[in-house]
Structure 1
Amino acid sequence: MGESTKNTEAGLAAAAAVNVDEITARRRMRRSRGADWSRRLVRETRLTVDDLIWPIFIVPGTNISEPISAMPGVNRLSVDRAVEAARMAADLGIPALATFPNVELERRDQTGSLALEADNLINQATRAIKQAVPDIGVITDVALDPFTDHGHDGILRDGEIVNDETVRAIAAAAVHQADAGSDIIAPSDMMDGRIGAIRQALDAAGHQNVAIMSYATKFASACYGPYREAINTSGLLKGDKRSYYLDPSNAMEAVRDAALDVEEGADMLMVKPGLPYLDICRALKDNFGLPTFAYQVSGEYSMVKAADAAGYIDGERIMLETLLAFKRAGCDGILTYFAPEAARLIAKGLG
């Protein structure tokens, strides 16, 4: 008999001698997992429709619902169709929408000056939605990238995105958005000092009750591609955004950035993208205790949709599992293109 055979037989004999009943008698973790009712009874984290924020894309015109090829199931909507979407969201119990414009290329310029027009597309959408569905929340982004002809989030001067001039512009744009009825201003530009400037501008204009949800930790991620198609900036972008977005390697820097936003008056914090940065979600919640949100961005959405279409995964189960992961990481809510689909499944008790 070989040495390995002897070792195997000795190992089997030792295993047979183990008194499993004695070991597990005191604590059998499977007792609470055996039935559906008991699993529900001890469930630690729950996903509800109240956790969902639905991002939608707005285009000029009327009666337009235009598919986005890189985001199956997501359409660009004219203002009238956005109002219909808001009514549907309200019927599903979704608390809020986040709106993003896709304006005509000929109206974009180096400074994103269209963002400073009181009746621009994003403000038209806010007014129409709040008039038709006054009880739904509207969250607006004041970054300049949908309005610039170079696709950056700020003003481009001599090859540099200039910080302070950009901050002044987005503070002025924030006031127009609040005037139009925006409930929450959500600046995603990652310029230094923007939260304090926006807070001062809103308060001076009488909008003390308009909240700020800071994109506190927005990373220079590869997950934004479909979004850039949706707002038509992917072909415009000159260079990249790493000089002002966070390096994906830097967790401590992300916390420091968020701390500055908290000091300047942010009411809520956001992490973007979502799934690759669950550690940052937990860090922000634990460090600051503010309402904390994650943006499940376009690339995350499209990857799930593509894998589902290919038959590699169960798309619905993966969708709900990812949303639950945000809640488990400490998030109070999630911006997700899955919101209507998730709301319907939750209503069926599948959340």
Structure 2
Amino acid sequence: MKPTVAPFPTARLRRTRATQALRNLVRENTLSVDDLIWPVFLRDGKDVMEPVSSMPGVMRQSLDNVVKSAKEAQALGIPAICLFPYTDPALKTEDCAEAWNPDNLTNRAIREIKDAAPDIAVMTDVALDPYNINGHDGFVENGEIVNDRTVDALVKMTLAQARSGADIIGPSDMMDGRIKGMRSALESEGYANVSILSYSAKYASGYYGPFRDAVGASGALKGDKKTYQMDPGNSDEALRLVERDLQEGADMVMVKPGIAYLDICHRVKTTFGVPTFAYQVSGEYAMIMAAAQNGWINEDQVMMESLLAFKRAGCDGILTYFAPRVAQLLNS
């Protein structure tokens, strides 16, 4: 689109900025509660609200408190909550069998949330890192993160979550062929209506540090994830990955991290026109909160501005730890 503008002073572009009413009328992008997915961290125990030191205001929550959070989110109108487990180190093994245990932390949480807050969609994480003694998203054999054996395990994990009542499966592992395996299994097992929101373009980023603290993966991780997560220098590759996942049966796609990858969000949305999400990851959240706590920025203003940037880039929704606070502001 080529803008058509009369010469000054016939055109004074400040006219439509003169009052709040005029600014509201001509605003091109808006943020609503419907755009939010709230990521929450689970842990064992009862009545536990354990602060994540690198993410001010974020807690690891026992199941009873996660259920309360889900009911809060439902009351605020937040459409979905996404579950990430802090797994007892004693349950982390090389075979990662806890990942598809029907009574693991995530699967118990799904059932309890769906019983207490049936109107909120429950999204899960599908990757082996919370259960892997090596801290990787896939099985490690002779120092290599192997693909096909990992996909078989991820399919078992997917089915366990679907049987527990998950609405949205979120594969974050970046293994080749996992969407095809998951979609085929879901169809075969009678879970045709379970959606897949694929982490299609997930970069090997330095922004994930606080998240790994939150799920207890930082100390376990051996090496890095560069053989399966994307190189930050690539963007055409992201389009190939998104196209592949859509062809294999993904219903929605995600770009991760967020703010540093808005160009990828825009390219994905304009190229494919599919539901496109971004994850405002732990490092982004932590930087905003650290600056706000030091008095260097206005927390609410920067929070809202950062989320509006995702909408401007073409995203249909955002996973953000700010979700409850944003919902409260938008509802007020």
Deviation (angstroms), 1:334: 0.3
Q: Aligned residue for 1:347? A: 331
Q: Aligned residue for 2:305? A: 321
Q: Aligned residue for 2:20? A: 36
- Aligned-partner residue type, residue 130 of structure 1: K
- Aligned-partner residue type, residue 29 of structure 1: L
Distance of 2:187 and 2:64 partners within structure 1: 31
Q: Does 1:291 align with 2:275?
A: yes
Deviation (angstroms), 1:23: 5.1
SS at match of 2:254: strand
Matches of residues 161-200 of structure 1 in structure 2 within 5 Å?
161-200=145-184
Q: Give 1:310's match in structure 2, choosing from 277, 287, 294.
A: 294
Distance of 1:161 and 1:198 partners within structure 2: 19
Distance of 2:294 and 2:126 partners within structure 1: 37
Distance of 1:123 and 1:153 partners within structure 2: 18
Q: Aligned residue for 2:230? A: 246
Q: Give 2:204's match in structure 1, choosing from 215, 220, 228.
A: 220
Matches of residues 30-109 of structure 1 in structure 2 within 5 Å?
30-109=14-93
Q: Aligned residue for 1:18? A: none
- Aligned-partner residue type, residue 134 of structure 1: P
SS at match of 1:55: strand
Distance of 2:267 and 2:254 partners within structure 1: 12
- 8 Å contact 1:269–1:291 — kept in the other structure? yes
Distance of 1:299 and 1:25 partners within structure 2: 46
Deviation (angstroms), 1:119: 1.1
SS at match of 1:223: helix
Matches of residues 231-270 of structure 1 in structure 2 within 5 Å?
231-270=215-254
Distance of 1:287 and 1:196 partners within structure 2: 21
Deviation (angstroms), 1:315: 1.1
Distance of 1:288 and 1:110 partners within structure 2: 38
Distance of 1:73 and 1:98 partners within structure 2: 17
Question: 1:77-103, CA deviations, whole angstroms, 9 ceiling, x for partnerless residues?
Answer: 011110000011111111100000011
Q: What is the TM-score when the length of structure 2 is the normalising length?
A: 0.97
Deviation (angstroms), 1:346: 1.1
Q: Aligned residue for 2:138? A: 154
Distance of 1:185 and 1:105 partners within structure 2: 24
Q: Does 1:124 align with 2:108?
A: yes
Deviation (angstroms), 1:25: 2.2
Q: What 5-or-longer segments of structure 2 have no aligned partner?
A: 1-5
Question: 1:219-257, CA deviations, whole angstroms, 9 ceiling, x for partnerless residues?
Answer: 000000000000001011100000000000000011111
Q: What is the TM-score when the length of structure 1 is the normalising length?
A: 0.92
Distance of 1:339 and 1:288 partners within structure 2: 27
RMSD: 0.9
Question: 1:161-212, CA deviations, whole angstroms, 9 ceiling, x for partnerless residues?
Answer: 1100000000111001000010000100000000000001111110000000
- Aligned-partner residue type, residue 330 of structure 1: G
- Aligned-partner residue type, residue 170 of structure 1: L
What is the total number of aligned residue pairs between the two structures? Answer: 327
- Aligned-partner residue type, residue 223 of structure 2: G
Deviation (angstroms), 1:116: 1.6
Deviation (angstroms), 1:62: 1.1
Segments ≥4 residues shifted beyond 6 Å: none
- Aligned-partner residue type, residue 211 of structure 2: Y
Deviation (angstroms), 1:287: 1.2
Distance of 2:292 and 2:95 partners within structure 1: 40
Question: 1:2-47, CA deviations, whole angstroms, 9 ceiling, x for partnerless residues?
Answer: xxxxxxxxxxxxxxxxxxxx95222110110000000001111000
- 8 Å contact 1:111–1:154 — kept in the other structure? no
Q: Give 2:11's match in structure 1, choosing from 27, 52, 60.
A: 27
